[in-house]
Amino acid sequence: MSEGRFWLCTWVKTTDGYKAWVINRPKIVGNGATWQDTLDDLGGAICLATGDGEGRMRFDPPEPTDARISQWAHPKLCRLDPEGDVRLTELDPRCFTGGLCKGCDRPVGSRTNVPLVAIWPGEGDLCYPNYIAYPYRPVMISERLFALLTRAELATCRMIPVQPAPRTRKRYIELVPKRFIPRVAVRGWTCWGTHCKACGDTDVSCTPDAELNWATSTVTGVASSADVPKRPPAMLAFGSVHDWGPVLPIDRACDLVCNPNVAGTRISEFVTVPPELVDKNVKLAKARKLP
Ligand SMILES: [Zn+2]
pLDDT tens-digit readout, 115-129: 999 998 888 899 999
pLDDT at position 221 is 93
Ligand 1 centroid distance, CA of 196 (Å): 4
Helix (H, G, I), strand (E, B) or coil at 85: strand
What pLDDT sits at residue 143?
94
User: From the CA of 85, how far away is ligand 1's center (Å)?
Assistant: 25
Ligand 1 mean position, distance from CA 75 (Å): 35
CA of 238 to the centre of ligand 1 (A): 20
Quote the pTM value.
0.79
Host H or E run for residue 7: strand 6-14
> What are the average pLDDT values for consecutive 10-residue runs of the chain, which has 291 residues?
77 87 92 89 95 84 82 91 90 96 92 95 88 88 95 97 91 95 91 83 85 78 96 95 93 86 84 94 45 32
CA of 185 to the centre of ligand 1 (A): 20
Tell me how far the alpha carbon of residue 195 lies from the centroid of ligand 1, in angstroms: 8
Q: Under the phi-then-psi rule, with left for phi > 0, alpha for psi from -120 to 50, and beta for the rest, what region is 99?
A: left
What is the distance in A from the centroid of ligand 1 to the CA of 92?
16
What is the structure's pLDDT at 2? 64
Parallel, antiparallel, or unpaired for β 6-14 and 56-59? Answer: parallel
Contacts of 118 (CB under 8 A, 6+ apart): 86, 87, 88, 89, 162, 163, 164, 165, 168, 172
Q: How far is the CA of 35 from the centre of ligand 1 (A)?
A: 34
Coil vs helix vs strand at 55: coil
- The rounded Å distance from CA 131 to ligand 1 centre is 19
Q: In angstroms, what is the span from residue 193 Cα to ligand 1's centroid?
A: 13
**Sequence ranges of the domains in the chain:** 6-64, 68-81+181-277, 84-177
184 DSSP 8-state letter: B
Ligand 1 centroid distance, CA of 94 (Å): 16
The alpha carbon of 107 and the centre of ligand 1 are apart by a number of angstroms equal to 8
Q: Which residues surround ligand 1, an ion (CB under 5 A)?
A: 101, 103-104, 196, 198-199
CA of 13 to the centre of ligand 1 (A): 43
Length of the chain: 291
Q: Residue 289's pLDDT is what?
A: 34
Distance 96 CA to ligand 1 centre (A): 13
